[in-house]
Each structure stands twice: as C-alpha cells, then as structure tokens.
C-alpha cells in the first residue's frame, strides 16, 4: 500500500472563489489510557505530511504548536494577527489556519482560500469567523469552549474585590507619589449580592467562588439552569439589575446581546453598583457606561473586552479604535484590561491541546466531533490490521436522493461502516471501504466528485 494520502476537491460552486482549483501539574488530555489506545490506530495521513501547511496567528500556545509539528506538518506561527490584505495572501495556499479572537475570517478572506480544510479557534468564541460561509465551502471550524472558564472566573473575583476597595485608584495614586488612606465607599464583598448574567461554564464556576467569599448569588439566563450551591435564578434581567450590588456579564455575542447593557439597563441598577464585562465588547454601551459612572450612578466598572480591539500589543488603545478611549481612561475606579480573561498559562496550554488535537483528528481521521459549524460525525478508527482500507468523506448539500446515489457508488465495494448526519442544509458522510486498490479509490473519488450535491470530497488511505 502506498503512503497514506488525501484526495480533496471542492464543489463547482467554489470555482469563482478558488480560481486554481501550571507547568508542574498540567497534563495533556492525550496522556493515560487514551494515549495508549491511540497507538493501535492506523494513522491516516491525508497528504504527504510535509505538504500540509498550517498558519498559526496571534501567538498560539506552544502546546498546540507541538501537537501539530509532531504530525510532520509545516507549521508557520506568528505572534500577531494580520491585516486583511496580508491575511488573504497567506491563506491562499494553506490547509489549516489557527487563530484567536482578533483575526477576522470573513467571507471575503475565506473566499480566497484554495486549499483550506479546517479552522482552529484557539479561544472560546467563533464570532470572528463566517461560520456559514465556511460550512458551505466544506471548511470545518473548531474551538475550545470550556478550557479557560476557571481563569475568567478567577479574574472576575479579583476585579470584584479590587473595585469594592478602589484598589486601582489607590495604586495609581501611590505610583504618582500620593498617599491617600481612605475608607469612604470602600466595602467588604461579604454579604453583598452578585448578579451573574449568563450561567454557563464561566458563570457557574464564578457562582461557587463568590459564595465561598460570602456573597449571595443570583443569576439570569435565557434557559432554566440548575443552580450551584445556594444561588438563585431570577426570571428577568431587570430583576437582577435591581437587586445586585455587582453585575457581571458572561454571554455570547449574538444580535440579542448587542448593547444589552445600555442607558436604560444602567438606570435600573442599584445606586453605587458595579459592572464587570469579560464576555464580548459589543454587550455594553460604553459611552452610556461612562456617563453613568461620571454621574455617580455606577460606582465602578471592569472591562476586559471592547467593540474594536488592537490587532497586536503596543500603544494602540486610543481614540482611533472606538472614539471614546480617552474619556474611558479618565473615569475613576475603572479597571481596563486587554482581553486577558483566559490569558493564563494553564488555560492557554489546555486550549492549545484541545484545539490542536481536534485539528489532527479532523485532518487525519475526518472526525468532526466538537465542530461548531458541521454535523458532529465520528467513526471508529481503522487499525493496522486493516491495511487496504480507505475512508471516504463526502460533505454535501442536504438534499433528497444524495445517500441513494452515494450508496450506488460505494455499492460495488465492501463498506465496513458508514455514518451520516446533517446540520441545516449541510450534510457530512463518512464511510470505510475495505479491500480497495489505488484504482478503486480513484474511481470512488471521481464518481463522488461528479455528483451535483458535492461540496467537498476527501479520501483518506
């Protein structure tokens, strides 16, 4: 059997877009029994490994780089994001791109990607990617939705205490040589009420930490969720804003959450309350927050995210970004951090491992488990005892009659196992075919490639 290779092609609808067709305690999830069993898998390398080109942007953690390099892929890693024109130039020939939150993979950018198979978002969010365009062009997207939950929760606890004691202002004064020992409007957090908007993985972990600090916890979510400890769910955002001394936001960026905290909501908060946003920059109307803080309605705030953020580190947080940066910096008792909620060594290593391994599984095995824009499909791995097998992957339009036509093509061969699932108008099929030779694989590929429903065909062998 020749060296494992991949045959992949996108649909004819792509023609216009593709003119030329903590260190001492951290453990990788691949360790232990799962890692031992992995050695029994037949390794399906989808290209000659030295030909797989991967571009990693925004300083992806070394753990992710190591996993990808260990496969023999060509990995180029850059510390910053790229301007659109440079990103388009880079993306034309690569098979995999890994990003964090600053890189924008729009339809315009993705439309220039001739060979792109998969996108890895080494972060929680995926709103920086046009997921629908990617799916309709056979490009899977993976992220790491939970790995940095603890890091964000701990940051919020630190900010609650810092705001309650005005530590940021006192520290700045001391750095400027001013001794200002005061207790006015400085509080313990014990006995205060924390209102959590969005009770997912971060919100629920934060709930436990806050109760351990002696706080009472209420939360609001669009679905009914079981409370941790003695926390209580409230039926409306308005009730939470009326009752909470501290309000912290942990929601995704969707149309419903844009400016969900604006002037009317700030007016509903208790006089002297505090606001924390470590979710997405568009969730808070920042000019309205500036006005509420200057009037004394809001006693303090902590912001880790902003509508428009710099693409790289440096002296870029100025009025050229959003137009209100100078006003924001002039407000008292406000903590401004550069989107570091998940920026701990533990979280970034875990994210690197989770997304890196998801990319390897997709490239080498075709597994879409964990994909945010494709049906989640997986087959048992082939073993070394199955040498003359090929794995057929058929991404197609979810229209009637496709499976019948695919099975007619595969019906001339022994199909050991097959699975198919759909998500909206996109469907994903995997099948393992045994006792095939190179000529058989070419026939299967050519036949599937000719179907009008085809988005992308891959054959791994």
- Which residues belong to the active site? 280, 309, 339
Non-local CB neighbours of 408 within 8 Å, separated by 6+ positions = none
Residues 142 and 269 sit within 8 Å (Cβ to Cβ): no
Distance of CA 241 to the CA centre of its chain: 29
Q: What is the largest CA-CA distance in the chain?
A: 85
In the 8-state DSSP scheme, what is residue 15? T
On the CB side of 314, how many CA atoms lie within 13 Å of its CA?
Answer: 6
Hey, CA dihedral for 445, 446, 451, 454, is it positive or negative? positive
- DSSP for 342-388 reads T-SHHHHHHHHHHHHHHHHHHHHH---TTBSSS-----PPP-TT-TT
* 237/224 Cα distance (integer angstroms): 13
Non-local CB neighbours of 183 within 8 Å, separated by 6+ positions = none
* 340/303 Cα distance (integer angstroms): 10
> Exposed (0-12), middle (13-18) or buried (19+): which is 44, by Cβ within 10 Å?
buried
Residues forming beta bridges with residue 193, ordered by sequence position: 216
* 388/70 Cα distance (integer angstroms): 25
Residue 126 corresponds to which tokens in the numbers above?
A: 């995926």
Residues 152 and 278 sit within 8 Å (Cβ to Cβ): yes
Strand order in the sheet with 298-303: 232-233, 216-220, 193-197, 246-249, 273-277, 298-303, 334-336
């Amino acid at each position: 059997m020749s060296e494992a290779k991949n045959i992949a092609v996108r649909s004819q609808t792509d023609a216009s877009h593709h003119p030329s067709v903590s260190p001492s305690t951290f453990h990788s999830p691949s360790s232990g029994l799962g890692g031992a069993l992995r050695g029994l898998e037949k390794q399906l390398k989808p290209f000659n490994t030295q030909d797989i080109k991967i571009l990693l942007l925004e300083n992806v953690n070394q753990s992710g780089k190591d996993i990808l390099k260990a496969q023999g892929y060509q990995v180029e890693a850059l510390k910053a994001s790229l301007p659109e024109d440079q990103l388009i130039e880079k993306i034309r020939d690569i098979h995999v791109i890994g990003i964090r939150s600053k890189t924008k993979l729009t339809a315009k950018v993705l439309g220039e990607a001739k060979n792109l198979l998969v996108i890895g978002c080494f972060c929680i969010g995926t709103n920086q990617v046009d997921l629908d365009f990617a799916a309709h062009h056979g490009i899977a997207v993976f992220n790491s939705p939970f790995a940095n939950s603890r890091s964000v929760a701990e940051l919020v606890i630190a900010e609650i205490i810092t705001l309650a004691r005005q530590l940021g202002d006192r520290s700045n004064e001391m750095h400027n040589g001013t001794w200002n020992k005061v207790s006015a409007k400085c509080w313990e957090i014990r006995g205060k009420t924390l209102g959590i908007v969005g009770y997912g993985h971060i919100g629920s972990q934060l709930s436990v930490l806050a109760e351990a600090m002696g706080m009472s916890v209420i939360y609001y979510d669009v679905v009914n969720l079981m409370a941790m400890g003695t926390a209580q769910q409230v039926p409306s955002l308005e009730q939470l804003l009326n009752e909470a001394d501290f309000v912290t936001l942990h929601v995704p960026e969707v149309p419903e959450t844009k400016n969900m905290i604006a002037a009317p909501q700030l007016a509903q908060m208790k006089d002297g309350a505090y606001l924390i946003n470590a979710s997405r920059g568009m969730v808070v109307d920042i000019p309205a927050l500036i006005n509420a803080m200057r009037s004394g309605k809001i006693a303090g705030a902590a912001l880790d995210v902003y509508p428009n953020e710099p693409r790289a580190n440096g002296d870029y947080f100025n009025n050229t970004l959003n137009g209100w940066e100078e006003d924001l910096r002039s407000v008292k008792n406000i903590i401004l951090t550069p989107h570091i909620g998940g920026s701990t060594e533990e979280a970034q290593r875990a994210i690197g491992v989770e997304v890196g391994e998801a990319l390897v599984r997709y490239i080498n095995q075709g597994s879409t488990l964990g994909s945010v824009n494709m049906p989640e499909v997986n087959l048992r791995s082939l073993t070394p005892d199955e040498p003359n097998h090929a794995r057929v992957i058929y991404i197609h339009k979810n229209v009637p009659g496709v499976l019948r036509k695919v099975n007619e093509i595969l019906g001339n061969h022994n199909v050991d196992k097959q699975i198919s699932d759909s998500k909206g108008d996109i469907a994903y099929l995997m099948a393992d075919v045994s006792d095939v030779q190179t000529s058989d694989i070419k026939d299967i590929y050519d036949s599937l490639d000719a179907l009008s429903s085809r988005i992308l065909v891959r054959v791994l062998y």
